[in-house]
Each structure stands twice: as C-alpha cells, then as structure tokens.
Chain A
Amino acid sequence: MTVTTTGPPAGAPVTAGPAGGPERHREAAYRDGPVSALIQLHDATSPGVLPAGPGGHVFVPREAEATCDRYGASAGPRPRGAGADEHRLGLIALEGRELIALRVDGSGPPAGEPDGWATGLAWLRLGLAERLVDRVTTHLGGRTVQRTVTLNLPLVRAMLADAVAGTTECRALLKAAPTSATLRRVHRSLDETGRTCLHLLGAAGFVADGPGSEVRVSELLADTYAPTADDGGAGDSGGEHSGTGVPYDHASCGHATYDGRTAPAGHPPTTELERP
C-alpha cells in the first residue's frame, strides 16, 4: 500500500466567502501558526481593544496586548487602567514568542451575537487543527512499526478518521453565520480533534518544541473565549457572562500567578469511593 500524505492546498477556501471574510484567519493559522494568525485577527477585528472572553479573561500575543488602551466589555470597549483591575495570570512561550493571559475585572465579550473576534477565532482554531492533522500524517507517514508504516495501521487510520471527522463538522458548522451555540460546538469539536491528534503523536506531542505546544495554545484560546451555555441551571457550569460565572471558593483555589507557584490549599475530602 502506498502512503499519500499530500495536504490540502494551503489557503484553499472551503466556502466562497467574501474577500476579507473570517475564513482568511483559518488560512493564516494553517500557514503561519497561532501567534501570527492571532495578531492578524486582532488587527482586523479589535485594534486597540483587548478582546475578553465570558469569564473576563484575555489571552493574546504580547505584541497585540501592547497596542491596546481599551478592553472589551458587554456594553462596548472601556479604557484600560481607569479603575479596571487587571491581573496577569500567565505567559505562554511558543517558538520564541509569548502570549499573555490577563483577567480584567468587568471585561467580557460584547452582548448579542458573536463579534468578529469570536467568529474569526473559530476559523483560526480550525486552521490550527487542519495544520495539526497535516503534521500528524507527516509524522506517522515517516515512522514504522515492525516494518509497517505507522500511518497504515488500521487502528491508527481509525483515529485519523476521528480527528478529521471533527474538522469536517466544524467546516460544515461554519458555512453559515455562526451563533454562540455554533461556536461553542466548534470549540468543543476542535478540542476533541486536538486530543485525538495528541494520541496519534504519542510522546512527540508531549515535548514543548513539538506540535503539542500549538495544541496547548489552541486549547487555552477555547478555555478563554468559547461562549458559555446560557441555558444552564442555577449553579451549573456556565450560564453567566460576567466574572467566572461559576461559584467556587476563590480564596482556596490558589489563582495562577506570574510564576505559577501558588498551590491551592485545602485537603480533598474523603469519599465513600476511597475506602478499599
């Protein structure tokens, strides 16, 4: 059996969208990776404004953060520093560049349907997932197990199919102007595709200088920006669009700090399950 690992032609739009439409962020991510694509997305959709997710978090390249004098909020952008409490939650390094995570009290996505940032981000993550699938097929096409090319093993092919079923679903969902519910499903589906690809990569997906680092950034983007369900019951996950939306004991959870060394206090309770 011959192995064909020819990827899709880079930048071939799946929909005949208008020039300058959100599909271009998919192509940028596929071609240039997350940091460059995020800078382009930010320039195109939120220049000067920190885009915030439903929990009041921001996760953008440092170059983009440095250009912002305002932050996003439900009623429109507000000036940074004017009484808005900002907390730096972490820095993520990727190929010599950095992304910064912040919590900005009172920030959030604009009310109503998803804005350009939210829609573009879904396309961007789709491009990252397609880029990841390509890297996986190249990686597995170049390895052997007992003289069989790894990509030709039936179990591996099955997992590859699962991975591309996820990106297929997302392309189908994004054909129409997306709602919050659409974007929520796109992010979840792309998370699943990423996990499947990590399984296929094995330890190669676990080292920081491999494709796993892009998967991590993509997941953190979803964690920060995926719309929340607004039909959750009281106390269920999500359901609010200000603050974190979920009641928990902030004081005992040890919020992330710049160096990530704050450990949560508190002793997990004994449950019935723990008694052998």
Chain B
Amino acid sequence: MTTDPGFLAGLRGLAREHAELLRPTALGLDADPSTGPALLGSDPRWLRLTGMPAAYNPDPLRVAGRPVYVDRCVEQVVVMEELARVDAAAVLALPGPSMSGFVVADIADEEQRDRYYRRLADRPTWTFFGMTEPAHGSDPASMGTALRPAGEDGAGLVLNGTKRFVGNGARAGVGVVFARRHPGPLGVVAVLLETDRPGFTGIPLETLGLRGLQLSELRMRDVPVADADVLGRHRPATRGGMWAAVRTFNRYRPVVASFALGVAQGAHDYVVAHRRQLGAGDRDRLADLADRLAGTRATVMAAAESADHDPGDGTLASAAKIRATALAEESTLLALRMFGPGARWEHPMLDKWARDARAFEFMEGTSNVQRLTLAQGHLNGRLDDVRPAA
C-alpha cells in the first residue's frame, strides 16, 4: 500500500479547511457538550471523514478527483491531526463509525455489517466502544460485564454490567460492548448493541477536558441480546472479540496520537500567531517545540503505516502514543507560560487545549502500558533496527 506524499498533502489541505469550521464553536461546545449533536450532526460533510466504507458512502471526499474513504490509518492520522489543531473534542464527538467500526470491519458478518453501516448512513448516528469498567479499566481478565443465557430454556441472552469513560456513550445509537460469555482468555465477546433496548442507560459524565466527547457511563441491566448480535460468532474463538479489540487498539492508538499531536501543534501555532515579540529564550523554547512536533509527526506516520500493514503489531503505535501524549501536555503548558501570569484566564482556547490534552494520557492505555508494549516489541525484534533478523 503506497502513501503518496502529494496525495497526503492534498488530504491535509482539505482537512484543514474542515478544521476551520470548528473554530467558532469550540468554546461553546466545551461549555455545553449537549450542543454537540446539533452542531456536528447537521452537516453531512463530517461523515465523509469518519471512515465509512464505499458501499455506504456514495459521496466520498475527493483529493485531486480521486475518492478517499479515510479508512486507512495513514489517512486518518493526517485528517485527525489537522482537525485536532482546532478542536479535538469536536472531532471525537462526530457521528460515525469511530472505534466500534474497526471491530465491525474485522469480525462482523454481512448482516451485522449492513445493520451497523446502514444505520450510520441513513441518519446522524453516534457510536460507542464499551470496554473500560469502573473498577479495573480495560483489563479483560477482570471484566465484570457478563453475557448469559436469558432463561432455563436457553432462548436468547441477557447483558449485565457497567462500562465507564465511554466516549459519546449517552448520545450513541449503536455500538459494541465487550462482555464475558465464558471463563478464560477467549471467553470475552463483542456484542453489537442498539442503545434503545430495555435495560440500557447511558449517563454523561462531567469531565474537565474533551467535554464535547461526553464521556459516559453505560449501565446494562438484563439487556436482551440475540445470538445474531454477537460479533464474530461465525469465527474461531481465537479470532473473536478480544482479537478484534487488540487490533482495534493497535489501529486506533496512532489516531489518538494524531489527536494529541494536533493539540500540541495548535498550541505552538497559537503562540506564533499571537505573541508579538519573542526574546531569545522564548524563541529557543519554541524552536525546540517545533523540532519535537516534526519528530512526533514522523513517528505517528510510521505507526500509521505499520498499523495499515499489520494491525496485529502495536509496537510503533505505542511509541507514537508515548511521544504525542507527552508533547500535547508539554506544548499546551509551555504555550500558557509564554503568555505570562493569568494566561489561563486570558486565553480560553489555550486553557481548553491544556485541559483536553490530558485525556490522551489515559485513552486507549496509559503511557506505562505503552512503555511495556514498546519494550517488549523491541525485545521481540519488532522494530526496524540494525540488529540482524533472528
């Protein structure tokens, strides 16, 4: 799969035009996340950026006349970085496939795929990815959400459990919930679930940053589930829900890194645009930040290429996420410092970006989790270094 620099530059330019649409509303969405659906669901242009497959995307984005479905990781990181330079929260709050789409694309059967994508194509529909639980994060070994037979006669299933910190959960129409069906490492399955089923409740959480995303708690009490809702049921257990989840994380981490990179770049650009004079010290700090942005951008792109080539290997994705999340935090804080005392009051966009930047650290695995993955990947010879292949 080639990545033509000219094509990506064109895509970047288009994404930048879209990003400017988010600027006037960024602070309003932060102040009142409930405005998200009206703001972002009314313009069909957004759906073209969310990775809808060709069969459900009759009017795709075009770069130099060529249709682009933004379904490859290299395309996604370019687009998302540009959008996140203005408002990462709004981008994450767009209707469309998001993370659950990776699972559907990987293991859904034809009927499930059609059910999911047709709904998204028909009307603005938010989706969710329900993995994290209140007591133990996304550790599958401890997963408490359970899928069990509904009754003695074995007809149908019921879902019980609580998921927390689920983006767009309270406004979603459909999504994927991970639940334990059997004991053991292969006992976790992915369930395709509409949110209007009895016993399903989504409650928005008040957060300090990325408020537009409306992180939510999902409560499921005896939610009826049919066998036809279980994703990957026609596949071997080793290629089921958890397999798809790992691949989803590996493909989505470069995207999260691109969000963080966009926020970091946005803060840098804000300083360049609004500071009238820069002394030598500030010029040095800004130059160093610019260099780090370039290095992180290269790392994110390498991770995206790796994810497109082999979604089973998350080594580079972890490297990209470590770099980008740290840079987002440091860049936004540096920018605030460069405006002196009271900067958080006088520069509300910078304050918002600094608050938003802190979400990337824990989204899709903390930096400590990424460090463990990256070190193991190195020890396993998965990085393209000078050592001869084992």
Contacts and interface: CB of A to CB of B under 8 A. Distances in A.
A232 interface: yes
Contacts, number: 216
A249 B342 contact: no
A262 interface: yes
A276 B8 contact: yes
A23 B357 CA distance: 34
A152 interface: no
Contact of B358 (A101, A198, A235, A250): A198
Contact of B347 (A145, A212, A261, A264): A264
Contact of B136 (A145, A209, A255, A261): A145
A250 B367 CA distance: 37
A206 B208 contact: yes
Interface stretch (B52-60, B104-112, B332-340): B332-340
Interface residues of B, number: 78
Interface stretch (B115-123, B223-231, B290-298): B290-298
B136 A260 contact: no
B380 interface: no
Most A CB within 10 A of own CB, among B273, B276, B333: B273
* Interface residue SS majority, chain B: helix
Contacts of A86: none
Contacts of A267: 20, 273
A268 B272 contact: yes
Contacts of B280: 233, 236
B139 interface: yes
Interface of A: 53-57, 59, 89-90, 101, 103, 143-147, 153, 155-156, 159, 191, 195, 198-199, 202-203, 205-209, 212-213, 216, 219-220, 223-226, 228, 232-238, 244-250, 252-256, 259-264, 266-269, 271, 273-276
16 contacts: A55-B346, A103-B345, A202-B362, A206-B215, A207-B208, A223-B342, A228-B340, A237-B338, A238-B340, A246-B339, A253-B347, A256-B351, A260-B30, A262-B27, A263-B28, A269-B273
Interface of B: 5, 8-9, 12, 20, 23-28, 30-31, 78, 85, 132, 135-137, 139, 141-142, 164-165, 205-210, 215, 265-266, 269-270, 272-282, 290, 293-294, 297, 301, 329, 333, 336-349, 351, 355, 358-359, 361-362, 366-368, 371-372
The 7 closest A-B pairs by CB, nearest first: A268-B269, A55-B341, A236-B279, A55-B342, A235-B277, A246-B340, A57-B342
